Amino acid sequence: MITDPIEKIEIRPLYDLESGTWTYLLLEKTSKLSVLIDPVLERMERDLSHIQELGYKLSATIDTHMHADHITSAGVLGEKTNSEAFASEHSGAECASKFLKDEDLFSIGNLKFRVLHTPGHTPCSLSLLLNGKYLFSGDALFVRGCGRTDFQGGSADDLYKSITEKLFSLPDETIVLPGHDYKGFLSTTIGEEKKWNPRIAGKSLSEFKEIMDNLNLPEPKKIHEAVPANRACGKVS
Amino acid sequence: MITDPIEKIEIRPLYDLESGTWTYLLLEKTSKLSVLIDPVLERMERDLSHIQELGYKLSATIDTHMHADHITSAGVLGEKTNSEAFASEHSGAECASKFLKDEDLFSIGNLKFRVLHTPGHTPCSLSLLLNGKYLFSGDALFVRGCGRTDFQGGSADDLYKSITEKLFSLPDETIVLPGHDYKGFLSTTIGEEKKWNPRIAGKSLSEFKEIMDNLNLPEPKKIHEAVPANRACGKVS
């Protein structure tokens, strides 16, 4: 967990071993309100129990994009806890209660969010900067990697621009908490990724595109089920 | 990552997806020295690259016990980086360069360790308290769980005592970073585990023993290979 006594907030990363997804539980210590970023349907009971044990109320869920590899628990959590479901204005998530757009600012107590539209993995992909210090980079920037761009309207051109122009303009010490990891890493910083990201550091757009064009990744098992289900906030019949 | 600007240290958890092991990379920001707790042989290249990219020197490895489910990289890292290998005085690790015993205090720059002998999972199991705030609990205490006690001289009596008398006497706000997790949790606190650990909270010794006697877990796949290999600090031929 990352405890930040100055901001009176705490960040608890929760991992889904099946899809390699990092869900983030954000705790607002003054009001005892909490937020989940990218919650996974199959881990809903774990996440909800954990929030209840800690004595918090779930205020909102935020999906950084419409996932192809897992289904969000946003809708089911909304029914169970009355939490709001936040998603991008470009997400097509008709079920969302609030739509986020680039440079939106919103707060839940001491949790102060700035929305960054970072398309590339999908056209609707968002990153979220929390209290100016912590970047939830969704499937844009990973630890020594990045999201794939070969389906769902993905664009290597857009992703290169999102990472190099938007995310890399944040301070070097910004802590990056990605939407996925497959190698056992938890987090990184903007400064490190500028220097060490093997796909992007020192790479031109054309070099990046060549790397992305040659990843030869298998199609996510759940893509045909997950994308429509996520547009319905995971309220699958 | 947990950054602690007051102590001038940083903790980077690194996960081994195969064995569910949390390895911890500790960074001492003033001297640029680092320590690895419970490093895994198969993840050695990842861990060493990461340390080098961050611009740190590996000073020591610490094994909290002789693992049955994975092989330590302590010996190989020692050969590659001249790092010291620390292990319990009860470990039988003839290869270790320093033996740790209950209530030992030692420092590597601003990394200030207190050793707690917490037998139960194995007779040699240690926990490490870092700078009085962060408890590396090895295979004694997990998030909402604990290490098994059904092989390698394990003892449910000893583990109950180690957790309830030794670890639960630490301040409630102590951050607990366990040696394993299988459910996607990263960390917890002493206060939470006192209240919510399903095996220990409110449970008598006899109730705990009944739970531990009925876990019916399979034998770790690597036990016959890992235990002797770990006594040789992972320097397997």
pLDDT interval class at B235 (50, 70, 90): confident
Nearest residue of A to residue B173, measured between CA atoms: A3
Which two three-digit tokens encode residue A4?
């930040």
pLDDT interval class at A237 (50, 70, 90): low
Predicted confidence (pLDDT) at residue B95 exceeds the cutoff of 90: no
Determine the distance from the C-alpha atom of residue B226 to the mean position of all C-alpha atoms in its chain, rounded to a whole number: 16
- Considering only the beta carbons, identify the residue of A12, A175, A184 that sits closest to B17: A184
Which two three-digit tokens encode residue A135?
């970047």
Distance between CA atoms of residues B3 and B31, nearest Å? 16
pLDDT interval class at A106 (50, 70, 90): very high
A32 interfaces chain B, CB cutoff of 8 Å: no
Nearest residue of A to residue B194, measured between CA atoms: A53
**What kind of architecture, by CATH, is found in domain A2-217?**
4-Layer Sandwich (3.60)
- Amino acid identity, position B2: I
Q: Which of A50, A73, A197 to mutate to test the interface with B (most CBs of B within 10 A)?
A: A50
- What are the φ/ψ torsions at residue B108 (nearest 5 degrees)? -125, 100
Q: What does pTM read for this prediction?
A: 0.97
pLDDT interval class at B237 (50, 70, 90): low
Angle between the N-to-C axes of helices B44-54 and B74-81, in degrees from 0 to 180, rounded to the nearest 10: 40
**Which pLDDT score, from 0 to 100, does residue A158 have?**
98
Q: Give strand ranges (E) for chain B.
A: 2-4, 9-16, 21-28, 33-37, 57-62, 84-88, 98-100, 105-108, 111-117, 126-130, 134-136, 141-142, 145-146, 175-177, 188-189
Q: B176-215 burial string, b = 16+ CB within 10 Å, else e?
A: bbbbbbebbbbbbbbebbbebbebbeebeeeebbeebeee
The answer to whether the Cβ–Cβ distance between A14 and B185 falls below 8 Å is yes
**Domain B2-215 belongs to what topology?**
Metallo-beta-lactamase; Chain A (3.60.15)
Using an 8 Å Cβ cutoff, are A58 and A83 in contact? Answer: yes
Specify which residues A99 forms β-bridges with. A87
What are the pLDDT digits (tens) for B105-141? 999 999 999 999 999 999 999 999 999 999 999 999 9
Using an 8 Å Cβ cutoff, are A178 and A163 in contact? Answer: no
pLDDT interval class at A221 (50, 70, 90): confident
pLDDT interval class at B232 (50, 70, 90): very high
B6 interfaces chain A, CB cutoff of 8 Å: no
Residue of B115, B147, B109, B141 lying closest to B129 (CA atoms): B115
Angle between the N-to-C axes of helices A44-54 and A74-81, in degrees from 0 to 180, rounded to the nearest 10: 40
Nearest residue of A to residue B133, measured between CA atoms: A3
What mean pLDDT is predicted for residues A69-87? Answer: 96
Which two three-digit tokens encode residue B217?
């877990």
Which residues in chain B have Cβ-Cβ distances shorter than 8 Å to A195? Answer: 53
Query: Measured at the alpha carbon of residue A79, what is the angle toward residues A74 and A85, in degrees to the nearest 5?
Result: 35
Distance between CA atoms of residues B46 and B28, nearest Å? 19
What are the pLDDT digits (tens) for A164-183? 999 999 999 999 999 999 99
Which residues in chain B have Cβ-Cβ distances shorter than 8 Å to A13? Answer: 186
Which residues in chain B have Cβ-Cβ distances shorter than 8 Å to A43? Answer: 184
Distance between CA atoms of residues A155 and A120, nearest Å? 5
B49 interfaces chain A, CB cutoff of 8 Å: no
Determine the distance from the C-alpha atom of residue A237 to the mean position of all C-alpha atoms in its chain, rounded to a whole number: 25
Q: A19-31 burial string, b = 16+ CB within 10 Å, else e?
A: bbbbbbbbbbbee
**Which pLDDT score, from 0 to 100, does residue B66 have?**
95
Predicted confidence (pLDDT) at residue A236 exceeds the cutoff of 90: no
Output DSSP code: residue A174: P
Please report, rounded to a whole number, the percentage of residues in chain B having pLDDT higher than 70. 100
- Considering only the beta carbons, identify the residue of B1, B53, B184 that sits closest to A17: B184
A-B CB pairs within 8 A amount to: 56
Please report, rounded to a whole number, the percentage of residues in chain B having pLDDT higher than 90. 95
pLDDT interval class at A33 (50, 70, 90): very high
Distance between CA atoms of residues B220 and B148, nearest Å? 11
Which residues in chain B have Cβ-Cβ distances shorter than 8 Å to A48? Answer: none
Determine the distance from the C-alpha atom of residue A111 to the mean position of all C-alpha atoms in its chain, rounded to a whole number: 16
Average pLDDT over all residues of chain A = 96
Using an 8 Å Cβ cutoff, are B65 and B77 in contact? Answer: no
What are the pLDDT digits (tens) for B6-51? 999 999 999 999 999 999 999 999 999 999 999 999 999 999 999 9
